[in-house]
Amino acid sequence: MSWQIRGEYMETCNCAYLCPCIFTNLTARPTEGECKAAVAMRIDAGEKDGTDLSGTAFMMMIMSPGPMADGDMTVGLIIDDAASAAQVQAVTEIASGQAGGPMAALAPLVGTFAGIERRPVRLEGEGMSRRATAGELVEQSCTGVAGGARPEEPLHIGNTAHFANDRLALARNGQSRFDAFGIRWDDASGDRNGHFAPFAWAG
């Protein structure tokens, strides 16, 4: 059966701003040798197989030992602990690429699926700021990089191969603290990479 979801996305990663994955279509080596990222997704509306997914949030924890295009990535999934069993199943199928859609293209690059954790997952913000948490496992925030013509709006990069949206706001991290599935990072320098955007997926 077909499915569709839409909502808001944000992430930070340990690459120095601007992450080279974005402008090399995943072929560049991360600036720190390996990439660690927390990708937060909040579904504002949508359903799969008759299961309403509105209000469900989740995070994908990603670790790549080198260029993402080379594969062997580790991915773990954190799903909001308020989600029902049917919602957990639907989100897992979507996020893993089993249900098709944008994540299906990334699935062949995943070497290890690290499992699923349940925590309160939140994604909030407006304007230039975004913040996402997953219980004690993840706390991250970012601020958009001001544009020149309209400094109240972030710079954007378009026509990307990113799975969330092909047009992303450019941002720098505020707090980035990860400790999930063996993926650990803690940085508040403001020099690391971030993005945010609306998303609309279907399969």
Helix (H) or strand (E) holding 175: strand 168-180
| Beta bridge mates, 164 | none
Q: What is the pLDDT of residue 86?
A: 98
Contacts of 146 (CB under 8 A, 6+ apart): 128, 152, 153, 154, 155
Q: Of 11, 31, 17, nearest to 140 (Cα)?
A: 11
Mean pLDDT calculated for residue range 101-128: 96
Contacts of 149 (CB under 8 A, 6+ apart): none
pLDDT tens digits along 121-177: 999 999 999 999 999 999 999 999 999 999 999 999 999 999 999 999 999 999 999
The percent of residues above 70 in pLDDT, for the chain, comes to 100
CA distance 71 to 154: 31
Mean pLDDT of the residues in the chain: 97
Q: What is the pLDDT of residue 137?
A: 98
Given pLDDT bands bounded at 50, 70 and 90, which one contains residue 1? low
Q: What is the pLDDT of residue 142?
A: 98
Mean pLDDT calculated for residue range 8-33: 97
pLDDT tens digits along 29-62: 999 999 999 999 999 999 999 999 999 999 999 9
